[in-house]
Structure 1
Amino acid sequence: MSKRDLKDILEWACVLVVFTAMMAYGLGKIVQFNYEMYADKTLRELTPMQLMWAFYGYSLTHAILLGIVEVLGGLMLLFRQSRVFGAMILSGVLSYVIFQDIVYEVLRGALFAAIIYLLLVQIILYLNREKVIEIVKSLLDKRIQEKSSMNIFLKIFMIIILAGIIKFLEIQITHKNILNF
């Protein structure tokens, strides 16, 4: 067995484990959270984990969007052309899940599972490190190549003016309720 064969076996094993987990967790978000279960309790009566579940149950859109990103990231792992991008997406999503699991004191099994999936995603990225390096270089090279002919001070001045206009509009919309939502 060649080194390439071993790399492929390791990569596909990682892909399949993460893919199945993301399908289960992502699709499960549709039915997993139930706000009504905690509706008759005060906040002080809820454990941190119950509070998180109540939050997800109340804002089901948030849970469903997170689930969609998990499913899409998992699906992207199945195809070589999108694997690195899917792994990058899942790195962010799983980091967010781990953060929530720690903050809301979710069961250790769920926390450890998320950590394991994140480690597997990092292995996938490491095994595809040439592509990752190529992506990072292409992003950095374009920034270097796209040097503006505009004077830097004029550019900074225009950025500040535009940011001020945007902030003014944001305040008008959010604080004065001019859109009447």
Structure 2
Amino acid sequence: MRTRSVPPRLITAVRLLLFAVFAGYGTIKLLGGQYDYGDWVISNRTQDGTSVVWAFYGYSPVYGRFTGLYELVPALLLLSRRTATLGALALFAVSLNITVMDFAYGYPMVKYFSLAYTLLCLFLVAQDRDRLLAAFWHRPERDGGKAH
């Protein structure tokens, strides 16, 4: 096992920051906020990309709230050291999708925040790269390399 050059307190601070951000957004979505629910008429010719996206996600209240689970559940996983890597991997996928969407649909400044959160998730994943490699790609030698 290699030694870390990153202070453990920094890793904990990043985990807590990402927990706060994604738990907050996830909770807002679960409570019915953020998306445009209800009756509306919208056209991509008269509305900006942000409004079209919010209307699309809000078209189905079930789906809109389900996206809240995508953020809340992995955020909760960040609170435990045992599950933090899984939470960081899941949030990396979620935040990468959000970042691409934010840039593709011309969101204002928030797109830079989502990019920062994506990079912070990647930072957490990189801190556990040895564990991930050992778990998924490196096969431990057992009994002199013989399979049973």
Aligned to 2:136: 136
Deviation at 1:4, TM superposition (A): 6.3
Aligned to 2:125: 125
Q: What amino acid does structure 2 have at the position aligned with 1:89?
A: A
Task: Give me the identity figure in percent.
Answer: 25
Matched, 1:73 2:71: no
Preserved CA contact (<8 Å) 2:88 2:121:
yes
Aligned to 2:28: 28
Preserved CA contact (<8 Å) 1:70 1:93:
yes
Aligned counterparts, 1:1-181, within 5 A:
7-29=7-29, 30-36=32-38, 39-107=40-108, 109-137=109-137, 141=139
Compared with structure 1, are the counterparts of its residues 6 and 95 closer, same or farther at alpha carbon in structure 2 (3 Å cutoff)? closer
Deviations 1:62-121 (A, max 9, x none): 2222210211111101111111111111111111111211222112x2211111111111
Distance of 1:120 and 1:42 partners within structure 2: 35
Structure 1 unaligned segments of length 5 or more: list them. Answer: 142-181
Preserved CA contact (<8 Å) 1:22 1:74:
yes
Compared with structure 1, are the counterparts of its residues 77 and 54 closer, same or farther at alpha carbon in structure 2 (3 Å cutoff)? same
SS in 1 for 2:33: helix
Aligned alpha-carbon RMSD (Å): 2.2
Greater Cα radius of gyration, structure 1 or 2? 1
Higher relative contact order (CA 8 A, sep 6+): 2
Preserved CA contact (<8 Å) 2:43 2:52:
no
Count of matched residue pairs: 136
Deviation at 1:135, TM superposition (A): 2.2
When normalised by structure 2's length, the TM-score is 0.81
Q: What amino acid does structure 1 have at the position aligned with 2:101?
A: Q
Distance of 2:126 and 2:42 partners within structure 1: 46
Deviation at 1:44, TM superposition (A): 1.7
Structure 2 unaligned segments of length 5 or more: list them. Answer: 140-148
